[in-house]
Amino acid sequence: MSVQKFYSDDGESLSRLVVSTRLGSSAEVYLYGATVTSWKCGGKERLFVSKQAKLDGSKPVRGGIPLVFPQFGPGDLPQHGFARTRVWTLLSAEEHGESVVVNLQLKDNEDTRASKWPYKFDLLYTIDLTETTLSTIIKYENVDSQPFSFTSLMHTYLRVPDIASTTVAGLKDVAYVDKIKGGTDLVEERDEVTVEANEDRVYVNVPGVVTVRYGDESIAIRRFNFKDIVLWNPWAEKAAEMADFGNDEFPQMICVEAGTVASEISLRPGQTISCGQILTCESLASSNL
């Protein structure tokens, strides 16, 4: 196991942690937003981070795995809530067998309690890295005296060689909302979903594993207590509107995001729930042997 901690004179928001396993996989985590910005598995980078991404704490990181909480999308709070723009506390980074486990914490503070979501909460984020998997699980705890509800999501940007030859399996017969075209009550008919334009879809109550395939490799996404999958690619027109996203970068990424966003998660005082995902990098060639 190797654990490296990096700090910057510019502020705690730039602090990051790089961990690696004995078997060659590695991950990088910024304490700002608890954002995983790198996952190397099988000798390849599996996450996409824009070359234009801001890593100075001035805005959420454009890429990796930003954490959405307690609000998905626009609403009373800033876009996607405040978890991805807060500095998390590093509790531990330890070796467990052939894996490395990182634990981060975010609690309410004066600013969050003064927001339009004023509740007391405690989030424990566990990142578990093995040779072929990256597990990201959040334990949400209501430490307030009243119940609260929230939406949450892991905004995973996957790096792909070419969006034109990338497919997403596991969504057939699932109802979805098309946020670009305004369609609701739609049902996915394809075994393999492809992206050929600006897409922003919320697939609701997805039943099983979702797999992103490209070339002879794939990334399997297994969810734990998250109901939905968001599929997103900005394509050329939307990319041109984002200052922190390169105009020519959209063919190298696809967002397949595990979360509960079509409905809310509700917790009573003292109640907890753990939700997250396990990403597995797989070789289609070896799996067919």
Query: Quick check: is 80 catalytic?
Result: no
Q: In the prediction, which pLDDT does 97 show?
A: 85
pTM as predicted: 0.94
Query: Quick check: is 155 catalytic?
Result: yes
20 — pLDDT class (breaks 50, 70, 90): very high
Which residues, in sequence order, are CB contacts of 288 under 8 Å at separation 6+? none
Say if domain 2-287 classifies as CATH 2.70.98.10: yes
pLDDT, one tens digit per residue, over 116-155 is 999 999 999 999 999 999 999 999 999 999 999 999 999 9
Q: Where are the domains of the chain?
A: 2-287
Sheet holding 166-169, edge to edge: 89-96, 99-107, 121-129, 133-142, 272-283, 217-224, 210-214, 166-169, 192-193
Q: What percent of the chain has pLDDT over 90?
A: 87
Considering 28, 155, 188, 249, which one is annotated as catalytic? 155
> CA end-to-end span of the chain, whole Å?
31
pLDDT, one tens digit per residue, over 72-110 is 999 999 999 999 999 999 999 998 888 999 999 999 999
